[in-house]
Structure formats: structure tokens, C-alpha cells
Structure 1
Amino acid sequence: MTEALFYHLQRVPLERVLPDLLERSIGRGWRCAVQASEERVRALDDLLWTFSEASFLPHGVEADDGARQPIVLVTHAGNPNGAVVRFLVDGAALPEEPNAYERLVVLFDGNDEDAVATAREHWKVAKGLGLAATYWQQNEQGRWEKRA
């Protein structure tokens, strides 16, 4: 059964959370796709090369033959690298075939009312599709706690 994980970002921005989640995913041998707006894809492409002085995340943008990479950044619902984990950023819609993935990870800015409203709609859709949905929120120390 596909898991849908909802991450409510409040204290730490996407740029600090996403690299860690991607690192954990590829550490498990999972191929990943990150769907975002075109502007965000460009920013994430730069970020994933430079987020840490000690390492980088092997990735590509689909336009640059990212299909060969363990992480591909896309602006659409396609799955060019055969990802089993799909990260949805900037309100990207749930895929039409969510069961094609082991995990869907919805990351949303808890300080943006529109982003919260979109995440709530995604939650309803995920639950309606019978996905194993969980909701994660940061505590005062910045650690993730399962809230639902």
C-alpha cells in the first residue's frame, strides 16, 4: 500500500528539510522524483549540489537527461527515472496513479494559508484513495512528530 507522508514545515524551510529526506531515501536504494514549479526546480538543482560541504545528492533535471539519476527534478506528473518515492512541493498535485509509488511525500509551508489549504485537500484525496496517510509536524526542537 502506498504511503502518503505530509510534512508541515513551520520552523525549518524546505531547503533544509528536503535534502535530508532525499539523502535518507537514496540511502535506502530508492529512486526519487521531486515535482515543483519551474523556478523551484532551478533553485533545488543548485541547492542539491551545494547543501553540504561534505557531500552532494546525485540528481538531474529531466531536461538534462535526469532519467539516469537516482533523483530527478520535474515540473510535471511524469516519472522519467522510475522513482518509487515522489516528493510534491509547491502544491503539486497527487499523481493520477498514486499506487505506482511506494511513498508520496507532500511538503508544505505551514506559514502559508494557501499551502495549508492545498495540503488539506491533498489529505482528503489521499484518504479517499485509501492511501496510508500520516501527518508530521515539527516540535519545538525541530524534530518531526507524527500527529495523525
Structure 2
Amino acid sequence: MAEIGFYHLTRTGAHEALPVLLGRTLDSGKRAVIRCATPADTRALDDALWKVSDPVWLPHAATGGKYPERQPIWITAGEDVPNSATFLFLLGATEPPQADPFERVFDLFDGRDEAAVASARLRWTALKAQGHTLAYWRQEAKGWTRAR
């Protein structure tokens, strides 16, 4: 069973919060796939990650990019995982993910959007019923706080 973390964004958007999480992913020697809600979101995130200055560089590609199997970070609006990633990041999710075969799933949702919060609660309930280990992280002024 995958460990699934819900990341409640309260002070920044996903494009600002995601680079730190991705940097830690790469530091741990893992690969990531990021599933966006739409192809337009995929393109916007691809552009945003090229502008990240901390960590210094996040090597990645998006659907349509070259050498997908070599990419430590793959961005898609689909179900493809050509880089054999073990970490799944969800942006704009509306349905519970198919968590297997991933080790970890990061579900980032906008806490300022009531519909996104309600959708995250539904995903939490469904995934808990499936027996996954769940964690809730709330974005604070500096960093994240894990609720028990």
C-alpha cells in the first residue's frame, strides 16, 4: 500500500510549493511523475519548473518531451509513467488515484478553494477505506505541519 500525503496549500499555489517537495524527492534518489488536471496545466507547470532557482535545477520533461524514460521528473495530464517513477504528485485531482504501484502519493490541493477542499475530503475517505496509510500536511507561515 502506498503512503498518501494530502498537502493543504494555504499560503502559496502548487507551483511555489512543489519545487521543494520535488527537490527532496530527487535528493532521496527517487523519480516523480506529476499528474496535472489538464494539458494546459502541464505546459504551465513545465514552464514554471524551468524558472525555479531553489533547488538550483529540477531536471524534467512534460508529455511530448524527449527521452521520457530518462527524466527524473515527468509532467503529464494522463496516466503515463514512462520514467518508472515511484512518487506520484497530484495537482487538481478530482478522483482518488490508483495508488499502486507508487511508494508515495502527494495530493496537493488549494485550501482557498472550497470545491478543492471538499474534493480532497472525498478522496481522503475513499483512500482510507482502501486501507492506505494517510497523512495530512498543512502549509504554515514557514514549512508544513503534520496533523495527527
* Fold-level similarity (TM above 0.5): yes
Provide the aligned length of Structure 1 versus Structure 2: 146
C-alpha contact 1:88 1:94 (8 A) present in aligned 2: no
| 2:33 aligned partner | 33
Corresponding residue number in structure 2 for 1:8? 8
Equivalent in the alignment of 2:100:
99
Contact 1:3/1:102 (<8 A) preserved: yes
Shift of the 34–53 alpha-carbon distance from structure 1 to 2, 3 Å rule, reads: closer
Identity of aligned pairs, percent?
38
**2:104 is aligned with what amino acid?**
R
Q: Deviations over 1:41-92 (max 9, x none)?
A: 1111111111117722000012113332000001012222111000000125
TM-score normalized by the length of structure 2 = 0.91
Name the CA shift for 1:129/1:82 in 2 (closer, same or farther; >3 Å). same
Q: Kindly state the Cα deviation for residue 5 of structure 1 after the two structures are TM-superposed.
A: 0.3
- 1:104-130 residue CA offsets vs partner (Å, 9 max, x unmatched): 000000000111111111101210111
User: Is the 8 Å Cα contact of residues 12 and 142 (structure 1) preserved in structure 2?
Assistant: no
Assess if the C-alpha contact under 8 Å between 1:11 and 1:142 holds in 2: no
Flag the 1:23–1:78 CA change in 2: closer, same or farther, 3 A. Answer: same
Shift in Å at residue 94 of structure 1? 3.3
**Aligned equivalents of 2:55 and 2:27: distance in 1?**
16
Q: How large is the Cα RMSD of the aligned pairs?
A: 1.5
2:91 maps to amino acid: V
- Answer 1 or 2: which has greater helix percent: 1
Q: 1:1-148 residue pairs with structure 2 within 5 A?
A: 1-36=1-36, 37-52=38-53, 55-65=56-66, 66-91=68-93, 93-96=95-98, 98-139=99-140, 141-148=141-148
CA distance in 2: counterparts of 1:92 and 1:67, whole angstroms: 27
Q: What one-letter code is carried by the residue in structure 1 that aligns with 2:10?
A: Q
Q: Is the 8 A contact 1:35 1:92 kept in 2?
A: no
Note the residue ranges of structure 1 that are not aligned, 5 or more in a row.
none
State the secondary structure of the residue aligned to 2:100. Answer: helix
Q: Secondary structure at the match of 1:99?
A: coil
